[in-house]
Structure 1
Amino acid sequence: MHASMTGLSAIVTGGASGIGAAAAHALAERGAAVAVLDLRPEAADPAFTGIACDVGDDASVRRAVAEAAERLGGIDVVVNNAGIGAQGTIEDNSDEEWRRVLDINVLGIVRVTRAALGHLRASDRAAVVNTCSIAATAGLPQRALYSASKGAVASLTLAMAADHLREGIRVNCVNPGTADTPWVGRLLDSAPDPAAERSALAARQPHGRLVTPAEVGEAIAYLASPLAGSTTGVALAVDGGMQGLRLRPE
């Protein structure tokens, strides 16, 4: 299994920390050459090729993807992981904030994949994996804007899978539950009672804890691997059963 991506080149957006960093490590463990595209590439593991990239700016994306392809010798795998969070109901975020989050979380995927399409078409093992969320499939309180953006990612993943299947490009997404990432850590730190908030977030997932970035990274690497060659248009839940299980109270 861990040689399944030898000879392949992958780019991971938002790969300097959290789920993106875990995905970059999981891909590299399987033999892939990895470039991390991030606002802060200097924060990435030096084992990877770090490239500055703002997924909210098309010129920045095109420069970064072209540099990654040159330095890696092509691009076989795109992991669209970069994204930002948002809290609140529909009353709580301005039109400007709605545009900003949708621009990063949805159009960011469009920009990066669009820039990489020529390289993906030239690969015989091309794959795209988008980081979606449990927020796309479950109604979570105080997450209206974030949920809308991830619902769009889920639908976009299906459309991309349909559009590019006959070009030999597989497109899937992962739907993490609440993961123990730096963003969630900042949310917990800002809560009136961080320990109680962490307990509440853990308890709403049936397995009783937060999802680890490594668990999501492994799922991303599986979907990107040629071992998943017959898997496309799939949303893989990594959420401790939150999406589909309804356990009786103990």
Structure 2
Amino acid sequence: MTKPIDPIVDADLDAYVDDQLDVGRRIEVEAYLSNHPDRAARIMSDLRTRDELRLALAGAPRMTRHATNDAARRLERGLTQRRFLGRMRRVAALGLFVAAGWFANAYLGPLTVTEVIASAPQPAYVEDAVMAHITTQLRAAMSSQPEVPEYDPEEIRASTAIVMPQLPADWLVTDVQVFPSKFGPSVEMAIRTNDFEVLSLFAVRPGSFDVVPATSVHKADVTAAYWQIGDVAYALVTNKANTHELDRAAIALADTLY
């Protein structure tokens, strides 16, 4: 028989004596013992003592001398000590590993994969708001598409169930249109202001009830600040990238809806 790849160690011999090896490993141990007579003699003695010990513990009639019983006790202590030392080595190794982990955690930071903090995806209606803003600018450049600056907030509310915020006194409405969107009718309002020049206010019912504070995003070369109050969502869209001023304007408009 060829020499086993996994070498035979004392733990294998102890497990052989304790009947804790599978058939394949027992064959490898027996092949090893056949080439090492001195180890085989010790194992045979241990096996005999083991069997005598089992008989003694089971209360069977004594079939051996007292010396054999003493040897059995010594063997039991020896085997127990070897197993105990083996367990202690494993426990010590585990303790060192845990201690190293605590040290690294305390001085080098947590040894874990940190959670990636990703920004929340923008609502789908922001896409419609940007498209409405671009379309409104396109209409403003066409002489055949007259602007409609007059609008009735109550009529819009009655027809679309959309409540429009109250605009600052210095904002000039140049066009108001009802546009289709993924969520149904929407309101697109073109406004001229001193701070933003061209500004669009978009409003739609997105089909969900929520409260979302004003949040700025950059999309398609424009800047939008969107928010939601209840079942109506809003978005301010401008060509300028002044997000700070746009956020302030969005917050001010949202306050008029409470």
The answer to which structure, 1 or 2, has the higher relative contact order (CA under 8 A, 6+ apart) is: 1
Higher strand share: 2
Normalised to the residue count of structure 1, the TM-score between the two structures is 0.23
Normalised to the residue count of structure 2, the TM-score between the two structures is 0.22
For the pair shown, the structure with the greater C-alpha radius of gyration is 2
